[in-house]
Structure 1
Amino acid sequence: METILLVQFMGSLYGLLAIVFGAFGAHALKKSFTEEQLRSFETGVKYQMYHALLLIVLGFNFGFNTPLESYIAYCFIVGTFLFSFSIYGLTLSASKERKWRFLGPITPVGGLILVAGWGMLLYSFIGKLI
């Protein structure tokens, strides 16, 4: 039961923040970002929203009775944080000409964790088909 609430909470939080960051990027950052930085920032927002919606769907459809279901959710929670928020940090710091290079390797790690979550989700569906 606790995992369900965590997943629903994180999905809601990520969704709320995606809207706030998207509006912030479209209005406040448009003047200080290059086109490339704006596209990168928007990529972070899009992936965050996609996974926020996915977490909400999983929170209402999974019982989290198996470790696999929990691993899937945790991959999406952690992967989204690492992927999207490292992009935000990279673009914001680059716009101030103080690029936080240590965040560069974090983005693909977050992406790999998201891929692992999607792979486990696919595996869970295949397991039910066979």
Structure 2
Amino acid sequence: MGTIFMAQLMGALYGLLAVIFGAFGAHVLKKKLTPELLQSFETGVKYQMYHAIVLLVLSFNLNFDKALDAWMVNCFIFGTLLFSFSIYALCWGAAKGNKPRFLGPVTPLGGLLLVAGWALLLYSFVSNLI
């Protein structure tokens, strides 16, 4: 699959799921989670939606003619997956009384990939000026 198609596909999928998960959190999990866990869940939803939008914007604005572009998109795709979905699993597990501890290190790894994606985007802008 091409990088543009993958960015569009995952951007649309992440956007769709962010709306569904946001509604699920607001209506179902609100009664099952502590306020702190609900806030964590909402953070996962927000970051997922932010990066869905970023993927879609990039897919319509970049030429994707450099390897850097593909690395950037992959950082956003996998970073969002690891960051947001590990938060969802941790919150849901805590609601069920079973906190999956192995997911604890996954969230910061996803965050690191998101930071790398943003750093690559910044580099792509700055490199055009040099």
With normalisation by structure 1, the TM-score equals: 0.98
- Report what 2:79 is aligned to: 79
User: How much has 1:129 moved relative to structure 2?
Assistant: 1.4
- Give the aligned residue type for 2:13: L
User: How much has 1:103 moved relative to structure 2?
Assistant: 0.4
User: How much has 1:46 moved relative to structure 2?
Assistant: 0.1
The answer to whether the aligner puts 1:13 opposite 2:13 as a matched pair is yes
- Give the aligned residue type for 1:50: Y
Q: How does 1:21-100 map to 2 (within 5 A)?
A: 21-100=21-100
- CA RMSD in angstroms, aligned pairs only: 0.8
| Structure 1 counterpart SS, 2:128 | helix
- Report what 1:127 is aligned to: 127
- Give the aligned residue type for 2:120: M
- Give the aligned residue type for 1:6: M
With normalisation by structure 2, the TM-score equals: 0.98
In structure 2, what is the Cα distance between the partners aligned to 1:66 and 1:129?
16
User: How much has 1:62 moved relative to structure 2?
Assistant: 1.0
In structure 2, what is the Cα distance between the partners aligned to 1:3 and 1:115?
19
How many residue pairs are counted as aligned between the two chains? 130
In structure 1, what is the Cα distance between the partners aligned to 2:26 and 2:16?
16
Q: Taking every aligned residue pair, what percent have the same amino acid on both sides?
A: 64
User: How much has 1:2 moved relative to structure 2?
Assistant: 1.4
Q: State the 4+ residue runs in structure 1 displaced beyond 3 angstroms.
A: none
In structure 2, what is the Cα distance between the partners aligned to 1:11 and 1:69?
15
Which ranges in structure 1 are unaligned for 5 or more consecutive residues?
none
Please list the CA deviations of residues 19-62 of structure 1 after superposition, one character each: whole Å capped at 9, or x if unmatched. Answer: 00000000011000000000000000000000000000000011
